[in-house]
Amino acid sequence: MARSELGRPAPAPEVGPDVYRRLREGIIAGRFQPNERLVEANLSRMLGAGRTAVRAALVRLDQEGLVTREHNRGARVRLVSDLEALQIEEVRAALERLLARQAAAKATATDIRELRHVLVDMRKRLSSGDAIGYSELNPKFHQLIWATARNPTAGRLVGTLKSQSLRFQYQTMLRPGRPARSLREHELIFSAIVAHDPEAADSAMRDHLEEVIETLRWAIGHKSRPPRWLPD
Amino acid sequence: MARSELGRPAPAPEVGPDVYRRLREGIIAGRFQPNERLVEANLSRMLGAGRTAVRAALVRLDQEGLVTREHNRGARVRLVSDLEALQIEEVRAALERLLARQAAAKATATDIRELRHVLVDMRKRLSSGDAIGYSELNPKFHQLIWATARNPTAGRLVGTLKSQSLRFQYQTMLRPGRPARSLREHELIFSAIVAHDPEAADSAMRDHLEEVIETLRWAIGHKSRPPRWLPD
DNA sequence: ACACGGGGGATTGTCGACATTATTAGCGAT
DNA sequence: ATCGCTAATAATGTCGACAATCCCCCGTGT
């Protein structure tokens, strides 16, 4: 195989992980419809990799809850119902509360500085009317809390949960006056962490996510029709 | 292929899932040492399956947190440090609290009957001095709560977490007087569920698991040496 | 017209082989 | 004797092919 003239022998193609990442991104970004069949041969051609790599990626995504696999029946993009989304959010809330608590207990000066930086950015964007820019920073803020908590297990789990329910998040931010309140709630969480007050961080995070859960609960009650089953 | 004379065409070999289950059981049962290398060719011969099936199983177990895989370096049985075990238990506690809460809210008469049945058995075994028999029933009780909560997401997560930290559980039950107190705590949780009191179920479960966490915290502080690295 | 059964196509499950990479042992130079 | 380099070995990454299975369609009989 041809190798680069200087230095490293081409930084390792790493086909396997790449296929996994691309498939995952494709699903999360919505490039595959929910409940759409994921045929291994198609993906293989599409991603330019062997079927084995695709297969391994599908196994991972299955365990991660992004696709479902039935024996001898192939894989489909997992369709998470409204009720499942609610349950996922409930679990996520429990984990985020734990993480906020631990973040408050363990936060260093550097952690706090980074958190403050993101929060300042959020305030800036919101006051300039950039609501979507604000919601783009939202995950960043939470991820910083996860990092501060130094609990890789909880961090990993909450990350995968978020990717599962990502499709529903827009519903929550569209409510009038929501962004402003969201910012206030974030500031409360930040203050609790700065004060190294785990109890306050816990309840602040609880209040923050309660809103999301309440919205989903409301959405379930007022659903006109049960979620459609898209045939192919 | 030879098929049975009557009815079904031989209940489907299903090599893949079987390999996964056997490997998983082997690791949990301790038949593989922590940090032991898991060579695909060996396992392939050992389990009588192709290397692909073994590989798929390893991918799943990696994502599940039971083995670690490094690129081009193979798989090893994941060694969970004391600190990781503590973090895992903290997460598990958060999830079990949520599940207890939801179980209290949703418990039907059948759920309660089954829970009572297990609890009676536990009491019986404990009063007859069968401490190990008691601790065998312990998971059953918790699983019943998970089922009662009707939250598959949380149930699945807490199940995988338990399998990760299973090796540390013996430490907790060996403390003198622990089984008796454990039974009392279980009875408190049960009462809260019967009374359909989510708040009480939450705090009862919190108190119950606090003991386990405290034990692990103590174990970390009094560790004589950092966990050894077993070569091969 | 409808139920039942067979056949064809498509898709997955499984396997062994080949290429690539990390590791280790050996050898020679300093 | 120790260090650095090279070559052999072992294990993984990747691939295509074959067999087993399922699904759908169509023909047939009532």
Q: Which residue of A has its CA nearest to B98?
A: A94
Whole-number Å distance between alpha carbons of A67 and B63 = 14
Q: Is the pLDDT of residue A14 over 80?
A: no
Other residues' Cβ atoms within 10 Å of the Cβ of residue A61: 23
What are A176-227's pLDDT values in tens digits? 788 889 999 999 999 999 999 999 999 999 999 998 898 888 888 876 555 5
Amino acid in the structure at residue A132? I
Please tell me whether any atom of strand C lies within 7 Å of the Cβ of A177. Answer: no
The confidence score (pLDDT) of residue A174 equals 73
The confidence score (pLDDT) of residue B218 equals 87
Which residues of chain B have a pLDDT value below 50?
1-11, 229-232
Put simply, whether A73 touches B (Cβ < 8 Å) is no
As a whole number of angstroms, the longest Cα–Cα distance in chain B is 63
Q: A58 CA to C8 C1', in Å? A: 28
Put simply, whether A64 touches B (Cβ < 8 Å) is yes
The confidence score (pLDDT) of residue A219 equals 81
Strand boundaries in chain A, DSSP class E: 37-38, 67-70, 74-77
Distances (CA, A) of B15 to A74, A76, B1, B20, B62: 16, 22, 16, 9, 19
Looking at CA atoms only, how far is residue B6 from chain A in angstroms?
A: 23
Other residues' Cβ atoms within 10 Å of the Cβ of residue B11: 8
Looking at CA atoms only, how far is residue B123 from chain A in angstroms?
A: 31
Q: Is the pLDDT of residue A6 over 60?
A: no
What DSSP string describes A45-63?
A: HHHTS-HHHHHHHHHHHHH
Phi first, then psi: what are they for A2, rounded to 5°?
-65, 135
Residue A25: alpha-carbon gap to chain centroid: 11
Angle between helices A152-164 and B82-106 (to 10 degrees): 50
DSSP secondary structure code for residue A168 in this structure: G
Looking at CA atoms only, how far is residue A153 from chain B in angstroms?
A: 6
* Partner-chain residue, chosen from B59, B64, B94, that has the shortest CB–CB distance to A95: B94
What are A17-33's pLDDT values in tens digits? 889 999 999 999 999 99
What are A159-183's pLDDT values in tens digits? 999 999 887 776 677 777 888 899 9
The confidence score (pLDDT) of residue A13 equals 56
Phi first, then psi: what are they for A93, rounded to 5°?
-60, -45
Q: Which residue of A has its CA nearest to B91?
A: A154
Q: Is the pLDDT of residue A231 over 50?
A: no
Q: B150: phi > 0 → left, psi -120 to 50 → alpha, else beta; which? A: left
CB-based contact A119:A190 (threshold 8 Å): yes
The confidence score (pLDDT) of residue B226 equals 52
The confidence score (pLDDT) of residue A179 equals 84
Q: Is the pLDDT of residue A132 over 90?
A: no
Other residues' Cβ atoms within 10 Å of the Cβ of residue B160: 16
Phi first, then psi: what are they for B106, rounded to 5°?
-115, 0
The confidence score (pLDDT) of residue B172 equals 74
Q: Which residues of A touch B52 (CB under 8 A)?
A: 52
Give chain B's length.
Answer: 232
Q: Is the pLDDT of residue A1 over 70?
A: no
> What is the dihedral angle through the alpha carbons of A144, A148, A152, A157, rounded to the nearest 10 degrees?
-50
The SS3 assignment for A75 reads strand
Query: A23, A59, A216: which to substitute to probe chain B, counting the most B Cβ within 10 Å?
Result: A59
Whole-number Å distance between alpha carbons of A86 and A166 = 12
The confidence score (pLDDT) of residue A223 equals 67
The confidence score (pLDDT) of residue A191 equals 98
Put simply, whether A95 touches B (Cβ < 8 Å) is yes
Q: Which of A197 and A15 is assigned the larger pLDDT?
A: A197
The confidence score (pLDDT) of residue B224 equals 57
The SS3 assignment for B72 reads coil
pTM for this predicted structure: 0.87
Half-sphere exposure of B67 (CA within 13 A, CB side): 31
CB-based contact A187:A98 (threshold 8 Å): no
Q: A48 CA to C8 C1', in Å? A: 29
